Amino acid sequence: MAGDLPKQVKVKKLSKLKTLDTKPGIYTAYKTFLHKDKILIKRLLKGIQRKRPSEAQSAILRRHLLELTQSFIIPLERYMASLMPLQRSVTPWKTPPQVRPFNQDEFMSTLDHAGPQLTSMLRGDWMGLYRKFFRSPNFDSWYRQRHREMTEKLESLHLETICDAVSVFPHLEYLKM
């Protein structure tokens, strides 16, 4: 029958239709984890009104991003340091101790008392941000680099203890290379 619509087709009300008369800006479906920094936004907007040089505006933004990054990384670095064996466990008579493995749940439990909220004024879902970071290739790269550095430090400490043992016990001269 010409002119009849199938029963499956529904006509949307005009109020629900999206129009092309949207405000200019950047639109995304990405969910942010942290709230907007309204103080930073006001500061940058005031700089525009006062015709602050773009270099100064850029410096303000770069500093903010550096501080935000440091607030994010410091808890990770602190936790990584806790995975390092104590120096007294390095002896010349045993192989060097190993770095304990990274445990995401253990790390997350440290955030309540040593998290980024201590150094950053920004509020939001820091735990969600860390979970997303753990699933990213950036975390894998960061973790491998830090683990390698820690392992090299342990091996260096082990060699130092061997050298010290040789100097204290001269009868172990055969260990010298």
Q: Does a structural domain hold residue 137?
A: yes
Q: Is the pTM of this model over 0.95?
A: no
Torsion of CA 34, 39, 41, 43, to 10 degrees: -150
Alpha-carbon torsion (107, 111, 117, 119), positive or negative: negative
**Cα separation, 40 vs 34, whole angstroms:** 14
User: Per the structure, how many domains does the chain have?
Assistant: 1
104-114 and 126-134 helices cross at what angle (nearest 10)?
A: 150
pLDDT digits (tens, 9 = 90+) for 102-153: 999 999 988 888 777 666 667 877 888 889 999 999 999 999 999 999 999 9
Single out the residue of 86, 133, 85 nearest to residue 108, CA to CA. 133
Q: Are 158 and 90 in contact (CB under 8 A)?
A: yes
Q: Does a structural domain hold residue 63?
A: yes
Q: Does a structural domain hold residue 12?
A: no
pLDDT along the chain (177 residues), means of 10: 52 55 75 80 85 87 88 90 83 82 91 73 80 93 94 87 72 55
Q: Does a structural domain hold residue 17?
A: no
- What is the predicted pLDDT for the residue at 140? 93
For 29: left if phi > 0, alpha if psi spans -120 to 50, otherwise beta; the answer is: alpha
Q: Does a structural domain hold residue 145?
A: yes
Single out the residue of 94, 99, 98 nearest to residue 162, CA to CA. 94
**Cα separation, 39 vs 49, whole angstroms:** 15
**Cα separation, 83 vs 101, whole angstroms:** 7
Q: The domain containing residue 54 runs over which residues?
A: 33-175
Q: Does a structural domain hold residue 158?
A: yes
